[in-house]
């Protein structure tokens, strides 16, 4: 007895990618394609079997799930309920997308950019690595291939190296593509998909090895191999003879096993009911999806997806998935609002702290400005403008206003020194330059240069001496010569210069 094929076992890592047209899609919009471990490909279904694709990827809590919806594809009769299609909420119907012209996508299924989508419409579309290519592939040739819209599909043309474009199991020059067809451009694998259709992101090398019958049906292949037409004619004649032979010579029909089929359907219905019940219990417990750190934990999403794998047309499972999407959206919005509130509170606290610092700095600067106006830039020690300004800088090291005040105070001393130098009073100029140099911590090249130049000018006018001497001039212009710097009064120490004895070469 022939045994009915059971539906595929539930695979939580299997991914089905839904291609739909979004209004004004961005050029780099990508379809997320989750990796799956290698697995044997199932046998191809019979030609008259309904094609069903079910998404069974288990999302993590942190994902937004892109509003996964599973809805029956349009159709009539009982067979229509066996077709499923995964579409996001708000996606326009395929007919509406077709009316706007962007009713096809190319989906990249290989490489580091796997999952990237390229919208297509009417007209010609270039494929290559050139900057102006409609479908830009990094490792392709600059102008590798071209797609031209023809009725409900496209003509693929190789515009690059011979044999570098493969479709329908062979290297092509031109070939027709319909929705769902795979083809290769160089080392890139792409699939043509119509908006609203469901397709798998998986493929294998066998997908590019067309059977003999597929090649006979390819007009381009037949034009390149005209001798095969004769072989095809012989095959057709043989088939006609076989199917139209007398009934007496036909093999007896295989008896059906209706009882076994009914038992399998009943068992499957029981398992679907169990999955729906378990999913509802988990949903009511708030266990919508598995936590990221516990991906194997039971959750409502996995149960309802399993039910759909067993019964793709189950309306209850689809409705529960919609409810899960709603709950996940609600949780995401709550997280976003909480994050916005937290950021706003932190910013308000920082702003209040900045205002408080600004008030403290301003109060200190006011005192410093008063001392500066009184001419107390660096004296008296401990209570002068520069001391106050540096106190304000400790309160707020980033205060640009305070940094400007410090520079102004230091260069006021430099300006006084420049004034004395212009009046040929180099002793007083030396005094101001030394004060400015100490205030700048000896790190200002301009002040250091002025100080060195003034000292050289004063020393150049002194006669050579055989002993170490210290010279300074007081406020009355009286010049004093001493033998130690410590003997110079503190009031005039910034005006004093030290002259060391000249080292004469040794006598022969």
Q: In what order do the strands lie in the sheet with 497-499?
A: 479-482, 469-473, 497-499
* 420 in any annotated domain: yes
Higher pLDDT, 387 or 51: 387
Q: What is the pLDDT at residue 93?
A: 47
Lowest mean pLDDT among 60-64, 186-190, 191-195: 60-64
Contacts of 160 (CB under 8 A, 6+ apart): 128, 140, 141, 143, 144, 145, 185, 186
Q: How far apart are CA 283 and CA 65, in angstroms?
A: 16
Shared domain for 416 and 476, answered yes or no, is no
User: Could you give the dihedral angle defined by the CA atoms of residues 228, 233, 234 and 238, in that order, rounded to the nearest 10 degrees?
Assistant: 140
Residue 327 domain-assigned (yes or no): no
Report d(CA 105, CA 27) in Å as an integer. Answer: 12
* pLDDT per position as a tens digit, 140-166: 999 999 999 998 899 999 999 999 999
Which of 446, 461, 476 is the endpoint of a domain?
461
Q: For residue 197, what pLDDT band results from cuts at 50, 70 and 90?
A: confident
The residue with greater pLDDT, 34 or 307, is 307
CATH code of the domain containing 451: 1.25.40
| pLDDT score, position 2 | 45
User: Is 502 found in the same domain as 470?
Assistant: yes
Strand order across the beta sheet in which 124-128 lies: 135-136, 124-128, 145-150, 153-158, 174-177
The first and second tokens of residue 377, run together, are: 């830039």
Encode pLDDT of 200-231 as tens digits: 778 887 777 655 555 556 666 666 666 666 67
Q: What is the pLDDT of residues 414-440, one digit of tens each?
A: 999 999 999 999 999 999 999 999 999
Secondary structure class of 124 (helix, strand, coil): strand
Residue 246, pLDDT score: 62
The answer to whether residue 78 sits within a structural domain is: no
Q: Are residues 446 and 385 in the same domain?
A: yes
Nearest in space to 200 (alpha carbons), one of 43, 51, 68, 319: 51
Question: What confidence score (pLDDT) does residue 3 get?
Answer: 46
Q: Which of 53-62, 251-260, 451-460 has the lowest mean pLDDT?
A: 53-62
Q: Is the pLDDT of residue 100 over 90?
A: no
Rounded Cα–Cα distance for residues 164 and 345 (Å)? 59
In contact, 318 and 305? CB cutoff 8 Å: no
- Its sign, for the CA torsion 276, 277, 283, 288, is negative
Task: Give the number of domains in the chain.
Answer: 2
Across 171-180, average pLDDT: 93
- Check residue 123 and give its pLDDT: 92
Q: Token pair of 345, please?
A: 């509170």
Q: Are residues 500 and 429 in the same domain?
A: no
This prediction's pTM? 0.35
Of 93, 120, 111, nearest to 27 (Cα)?
120
Give the structural domain span for 467: 463-508
**Confidence class for position 251, pLDDT limits 50, 70, 90:** low
CA atoms within 13 A on the CB side of 465: 17
Q: Name the residue with higher pLDDT: 364 or 96.
A: 364
Q: Is the pLDDT of residue 344 over 90?
A: yes
Residues 6+ apart with CB under 8 A from 197: 19, 85, 94, 179, 180
In a domain, 137, yes or no: no
Same domain, yes or no: 381 and 456 = yes
Q: Which of 191, 233, 360, 265 is nearest to 6 (CA)?
A: 265
Nearest 5°: the CA angle 321, 326, 327 is 95
Instruction: Extract the runs of DSSP E, i.e. beta strands, from 19-90.
Output: 68-72, 84-88
Q: Indicate whether 107 belongs to any domain.
A: no
Domain-embedded: residue 428:
yes
Same domain (yes/no): 428, 470: no
Last residue of a domain, one of 422, 440, 461: 461
Q: What percent of the chain has pLDDT over 90?
A: 52
pLDDT tops 90 at residue 21: no
Of the chain, the end-to-end C-alpha distance in Å amounts to: 130
Q: Residues 488, 443: one domain?
A: no
**Chain mean position to CA 487:** 73
Instruction: Supply the pLDDT for residue 169.
Output: 85
Residue 489 resides in a domain: yes
Q: Are residues 447 and 502 in the same domain?
A: no
* pLDDT band per the 50, 70, 90 thresholds, residue 17: very low
The yes-or-no verdict on residue 116 having pLDDT over 80 is: yes
Q: Does 496 share its domain with 422?
A: no
**456 shares its domain with 468:** no
Q: In terms of domains, do 389 and 452 share one?
A: yes
**Whether residue 437 sits in one domain with residue 490:** no
d(CA 216, CA 210): 10
Please report whether residue 158 resides in a domain: no
* CA 465 – CA 212 distance, rounded (Å): 113
């Amino acid at each position: 007895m022939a045994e009915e094929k059971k539906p595929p076992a539930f695979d939580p890592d299997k991914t089905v990618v839904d291609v739909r047209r979004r209004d004004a899609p961005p050029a780099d919009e990508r379809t997320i394609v989750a990796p799956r471990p290698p697995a044997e490909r199932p046998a191809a279904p019979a030609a008259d079997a309904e094609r069903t694709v079910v998404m069974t990827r288990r999302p993590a809590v942190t994902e937004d799930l892109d509003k996964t919806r599973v809805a029956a594809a349009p159709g009539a009769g009982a067979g229509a309920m066996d077709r499923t299609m995964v579409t996001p909420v708000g996606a326009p119907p395929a007919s509406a997308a077709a009316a706007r012209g962007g009713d096809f996508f190319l989906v990249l299924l290989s490489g580091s950019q796997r999952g990237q989508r390229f919208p297509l419409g009417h007209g010609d579309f270039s494929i290559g690595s050139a900057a102006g290519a409609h479908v830009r592939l990094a490792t392709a040739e600059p102008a590798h291939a071209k797609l031209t819209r023809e009725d409900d599909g496209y003509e693929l043309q190789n515009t690059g190296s011979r044999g570098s474009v493969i479709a329908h199991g062979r290297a092509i020059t031109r070939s027709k593509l319909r929705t769902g067809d795979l083809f290769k451009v160089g080392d890139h694998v792409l699939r043509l998909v119509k908006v609203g259709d469901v397709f798998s992101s998986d493929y294998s090398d066998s997908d590019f090895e067309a059977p003999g019958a597929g090649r006979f049906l390819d007009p381009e292949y037949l034009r390149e191999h005209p001798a095969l037409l004769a072989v095809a004619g012989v095959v057709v004649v043989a088939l006609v003879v076989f199917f139209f032979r007398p009934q007496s010579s036909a093999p007896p029909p295989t008896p059906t096993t209706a009882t076994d089929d009914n038992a399998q359907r009943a068992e499957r219905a029981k398992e679907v009911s169990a999955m729906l019940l378990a999913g509802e219990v988990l949903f009511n417990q708030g266990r919508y999806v598995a936590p990221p750190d516990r991906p194997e934990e039971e959750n409502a999403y996995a149960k309802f997806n399993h039910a759909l794998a067993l019964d793709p047309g189950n309306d209850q499972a689809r409705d529960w998935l919609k409810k899960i999407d709603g709950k996940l959206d609600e949780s995401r919005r709550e997280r976003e609002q909480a994050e916005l509130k937290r950021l706003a509170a932190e910013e308000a606290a920082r702003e209040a702290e900045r205002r408080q610092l600004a008030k403290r700095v301003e109060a200190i600067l006011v005192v410093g400005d008063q001392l500066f106006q009184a001419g107390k830039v660096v004296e008296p020690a401990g209570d002068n403008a520069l001391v106050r300004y540096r106190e304000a800088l400790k309160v707020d090291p980033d205060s640009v206003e305070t940094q400007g005040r410090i520079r102004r105070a230091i260069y006021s001393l430099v300006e006084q020194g420049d004034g004395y130098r212009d009046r040929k009073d180099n002793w007083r100029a030396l005094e101001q330059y030394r004060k400015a140099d100490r205030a700048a911590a000896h790190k200002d090249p301009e002040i250091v240069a002025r100080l060195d130049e003034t000292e050289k000018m004063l020393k150049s006018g002194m006669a050579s001496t055989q002993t170490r001497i210290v010279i300074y001039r007081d406020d009355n212009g009286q010049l004093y010569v001493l033998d130690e710097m410590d003997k110079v009064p503190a009031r005039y120490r910034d005006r004093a210069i030290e002259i060391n004895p000249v080292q004469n070469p040794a006598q022969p």
